[in-house]
Structures are given as C-alpha cells and as structure tokens.
Copies of this chain bind each other. A is one copy, B any other.
Amino acid sequence: MAMESLRQFVVALSAAAAVGFVSIIFVLRWVLHYKEGLAWDGGLAEFNWHPVLIVTGFIFLQGIAIIVYRLPWTWQCSKLLMKFIHAGLNLVAFIFAVIAMVAVFDFHNAAKIPNMYSLHSWLGLMVVTLYCLQLVLGVGMYLIPVTPVSWRAAFMPLHVYSGLLLFSSAIAVALMGITEKLIFGLSNPKYKDSPPEAIFVNILGVLLVVFGALILWIATQTSWKRPTDQTLHTLHSNGGGEDNTKVGPALSQLSDGDDAEASGDVRRRNNKLDD
C-alpha cells in the first residue's frame, strides 16, 4: 500500500471509528438522559435496550466486521485468523440484534401493543433472518474446510453483495425505528414541535447514515484490500515473474476474492476469459 493511500485509509478509518463512537454515546444519552434508562422489567426501560443494542451491535460491530480485512496491521496475521474475527464479530452483532428484538416483544406483550404490524418490524425481522442465513452460509462456505474451492470462489461476490446490502438495510431499518420512537415517545411537546430530544435523536440518525457511508466507502475501495495470499506466494516463489497485480484486483471486484483456497479457481476462470 502506497504511503498516500495508507494515509487516506487511516483518515477514513478514524472518521468511521469516531462517528461510530459518537453514535453509541448519542444512543446511550438518549435512553439514559431523555428516556427511562435501562432495565429488564417489561416496561419502557426494557424497550430502551432495543436502540442501544442495535446501534452498538447490529450497526457498529457489523460495520467493523465488514472492514476488518482492510486493516493493514492485520495483514501479517493468517487469513484464517481474520476469518474467525470477521465471523466472530458478525456473530456478536447477530446476538445483540436478537436480544434487541426480544426486548421489544417483551415490552409489547407487557403493554398489550400488537407485534409485527409496522414496516419497521417487517423489514427488521427480514434483515435479521437474512443476516442469520448469511452467517450460516458464510461459516459453511469459508470456515468449514470441506467446501469445494470452486463453490467458495463462485459464492464470494454474492457473500460480499449480501453483506453490504444487509448492513445498509440495517441502518435504513434503524432510521425507521427512530422515526417511530420519536413520534410515539414525544408528546407535549410533540415531535413536530422540535423539542431538544427530537433534534438530538435526528442528529443520531444523521450520524448513523454517515457511519454507514464511511464503512461502505472503506469496504469498496479496492486499493485498500488485503493483498492476496496468491500474490505473496507468487512473489516469493516465482520471484514476481508473473504479474498478479493485474489479475488480482480484476477478479476481486466487489469481493474478498483474496481467498487463498479460491484463487486457483479464480485464475482458471480468468484464463478462460482471456482465451
């Protein structure tokens, strides 16, 4: 990675981390200062776990999980270790999301509010369900060594596309949830009268969008990708005789195609393309 590119990466990463941290502080201040605090009592303080767990887990941790391969200081670690960290962070994010949903169902049932009537609830449940599927397929494909190499390569563009789509959708669903909570939770003054809480939580919504935009930027900048093990291997064993810088990025488009096991197949497909 060139020095200028590394500098830009550190700026983007610092911005994402800063915006992510501020978002977490905002959601905590929302529930602790403006709302009823946190508890597990079937009341509003239990509901409050919902936004806290979604922002810290399903948005912040999921965002970090997405870009964990991009951190240059991890490139000396084995790809397998990084896969475990990627999967582990996503698993924690999923557990946070499940507890967040349980908190809302508990609160609704205690307060005799119907469940699953809103577009927020429909899309939220879809996103968490598909996220679970993505996690199971990801572990099955990339962590269990029995999966054929050709499947791994073929599935990677879909894995990356789905991951970024689910991350974006999680933020979109959170924005709908903020909208619902500010309408239902504010009265005298109402949301439309713009009390301090309304302005404060609107800013939280904007922060979540900025965090999402930064993570998507970092994830899709191919010059910031982890170098392929194939490239390193070729450079060491062939003395760099074959030009992998050309082939590598072409095939890793929108994908983490730097999967060592997969690159053989990828190379084969590329050669066919060249014929």
Contacts and interface: CB of A to CB of B under 8 A. Distances in A.
Interface of A: 113-114, 117-120, 122-123, 126, 157, 161, 165, 168-169, 171-173, 175-176, 178-180, 182-184, 191-194, 198, 201-202, 205-206, 209, 213, 216-217, 220-222, 243, 245-247, 249-250, 253-254, 270, 273-274
8 contacts: A119-B178, A119-B202, A119-B205, A122-B202, A126-B206, A175-B176, A183-B183, A245-B273
A127 to B, nearest CB: 9
A180 B202 CA distance: 14
Contacts of A171: 172
A183 B182 contact: no
A191 B117 CA distance: 7
A246 B249 contact: no
A117 B205 CA distance: 13
| Main DSSP-derived SS at the A contact region | helix
A205 B250 CA distance: 36
Query: For the complex formed by this chain, how many copies does it contain in all?
Result: 2
A202 B243 CA distance: 52
Given A118-B191, A119-B205, A173-B175, 13 more contacts: A114-B193, A118-B182, A118-B202, A120-B179, A123-B175, A165-B213, A172-B209, A176-B176, A180-B183, A246-B246, A246-B270, A249-B253, A253-B253
Nearest to A113: B192
Contacts of A250: 246, 249-250, 253
A170 to B, nearest CB: 11
A51 to B, nearest CB: 13
A123 B205 CA distance: 9
Contacts of A198: 117
A119 B171 CA distance: 13
A251 to B, nearest CB: 8
Contacts of A113: 192
Contacts of A249: 250, 253
Contact of A176 (B179, B192, B243): B179
A139 to B, nearest CB: 23
